[in-house]
Amino acid sequence: MASKPYTIRWGILATGGIAKTFTKDLLIDPSTRGASDVAHEVVAAASSTSASRAEQFLKDCGCPSSAKAYGSYKGLVADPNVDIVYVATPHSHHYQNARLCLEAGKHVLCEKAFTTNAAQAKILVELAKKKNLFLMEAVWTRYFPLAEELRAMVQEGKIGEVKRVFADLSFWNDVEKEFGTESRMVKMDLAGGALLDLGIYSITWVFQFLYHLQPPSHRKPPTVASSMTKYPQTGADEMTSIIMTFPSTGTHGIATTNLRVSHDPDSQASAGAPIRIQGTLGEIQVQGPAYRPTTYTLIPAKSESRGAPADFEYQKVTRDIPGHGMFWEADECARCLRDGKLQSEGLPWEESIVIMETMDEVRRQNGLRYPEAIESTVFPLEGF
């Protein structure tokens, strides 16, 4: 007889769009993605403004009627039926909200970017370690089967030695008209701007192949050169370009993000692949937005001077996503809890911290600092 799946009970902290997408994914039958060892229950949700808003959120997502609605985050983290909390607030609030959960003894999946700065991330990690709690940054893309497949291909040397990775995530917005000054995308009080919201995806594609796949002893933080253009109305970054050099290998990662021009301007992929992983024997091009890749193309390297060193043929592969795709990171959380792990091997604490340090350095080079309240490590702070 097959063993019952390991089930974890989720509390959802915040009721915005990303929380709704994640929660709906949790409710999809795991068998539709070939998972039979884990399962998920949504047992509670909280709004910072009212219990009625949390109740409406649960109804909109199709959660069981038994799920509890809270009008405060403190109420949610005090619920004994909640095993793990998904923190879905803006980056500006991640430190305060994730720490609230950890202090209350709850495991945490915290949306990306992990925190506002690396100092905050380090404190969360130390707290999770001290309290023996699971903590993971919700970079959902890392857990896509497509991403895992590509990492395995690179590890086995399919495209030779990877020397360079390009990654872009940019949207074609009329920033003044669509965002103005109050949108979270450009509001400094919410750590708005392209870098923490979109650029984190470009950076994670670079890190997946130039840092994560290195033996732990060879993982050295990259040196950083960057440029940034700020949105005049708020001071948030609207365009950021980063060149990362990884010292142990001499490889280059180029990560770009922009609020005014798109990686896919006609929404038909006419502009080509926004992600390119370049090796000595060939290249992998990844189509679809950096956060939700759908297709990759394997391109062998051939030249008369070098012969034809690649032993594979040109191939284009598309992988189905049986939903939005956020359930794969949730499955990882369940397996880690089942196996008694405090962190995920797919994105360990140390790597999340180095990525935060990289973004800190980009901001330092370009004079971008958020308001003191959201850069602070003081806990608790009023208003969060």
Of the candidates 24, 68, 112, 158, the residue annotated as catalytic is: 112
Burial of 379 (0-12, 13-18, 19+ CB in 10 A): middle
Q: Is 288 helix (H, G, I), strand (E, B) or coil?
A: coil
Q: Is 112 marked active-site?
A: yes
179 DSSP 8-state letter: T
- Omega within 30 of 0 (cis) for the link into 113: yes
How crowded is residue 250: how many other Cβ atoms within 10 Å of its Cβ? Answer: 8
Contacts (Cβ under 8 Å, ≥6 apart) of 254 = 164, 165, 166, 167, 206, 241, 242, 243, 244
C-alpha angle 22-126-71 in degrees, rounded to nearest 5: 40
Residue among 209, 214, 215, 223 at smallest CA distance from 283? 209
Tell me the CA distances in angstroms from 363 to 63, 230, 335, 350, 359, one per residue in order: 40, 11, 35, 20, 6
Chain position carrying tokens 């002893």: 217
Cα distance between residue 295 and residue 318, in whole Å: 4
Cα distance between residue 126 and residue 369, in whole Å:
24
- Which position has the token pair 């038909």? 268
The residues with which 42 forms a beta bridge, in sequence order, are 10
For residue 61, how many other CB atoms are within 10 A of its CB? Answer: 21
Sign for the CA dihedral angle at 270, 275, 277, 278 comes to positive
Q: What phi, psi does 154 have (nearest 5°)?
A: -70, -40
**Positions marked catalytic:** 112
